[in-house]
Amino acid sequence: MQQTVYILNGPNLNLLGLREPEIYGHETLDDVIESCARLATELGLSTRAFQSNHEGVLIEHIHEARDQAAAIIINPAAFSHSSIAILDALNAFSGPVIEVHISNIHKREHFRHHSFVSGRADGVIAGLGTQGYLLALRHLATRLG
Ligand code: DQA
C-alpha cells in the first residue's frame, strides 16, 4: 500500500499567492498542493493536505496522522514561533516530520528566528520558496522507501 504523507499548513497560508508576494511568491496553496500530489505519485507516495487558521484544528490533524500517515510535512506559519501545543502534538507522532518555511525565517525579524516545531522536526527547509515542500517529499521518499 502507498504510504501517505500529510502536508499541513498553518495560518494565512490560504492566502498564498495573494499575501506579500514579494516574500511568499505568486503560487497559490492549491498550486503547491497539486505539484506535491503529482510528485508524490511519481515517487510512489500519496499526499493529503490540510490548511487551517486554527491551532486546535491543526493539532487534530496531527493526532489523526498518528494512524493515517507515515510522515508529516508541516509549515506551521506563525504558530512555529508560538505554539508549544503543536510541538507537543508532533512529539506524539512517531514518523518523520519535516518543517518547511517558504521564506528564510532567519533572515527576517528576530521574532521569527525561533521555531518551537524545530525542536521536533527531523529536518527544516527554509528560504527555498514553495520548492521546499517538493524537496521535503523527495527526502521522505528516500527515507520511507
Ligand atoms: C512562514 C514564516 C512565518 O514566520 C510566517 O509567520 C508565515 C510563513 C514561511 O513559510 O515562510 O506565515 O512559515
pLDDT digits (tens, 9 = 90+) for 84-97: 999 999 999 999 99
Please report the atom of ligand 1 found closest to the CA of residue 81: 4
Provide φ and ψ at 73, rounded to 5°. Answer: -110, 125
Residue 137 Cα distances to 44, 57, 82, 110, angstroms? 11, 23, 25, 29
Tell me if 82 CB under 6 Å of ligand 1: no
pLDDT digits (tens, 9 = 90+) for 125-137: 999 999 999 999 9
Q: What is the reported pTM?
A: 0.97
Q: How far is the CA of 101 from the centre of ligand 1 (A)?
A: 6
pLDDT digits (tens, 9 = 90+) for 49-65: 999 999 999 999 999 99
- Write out the CATH class of domain 3-144: alpha beta
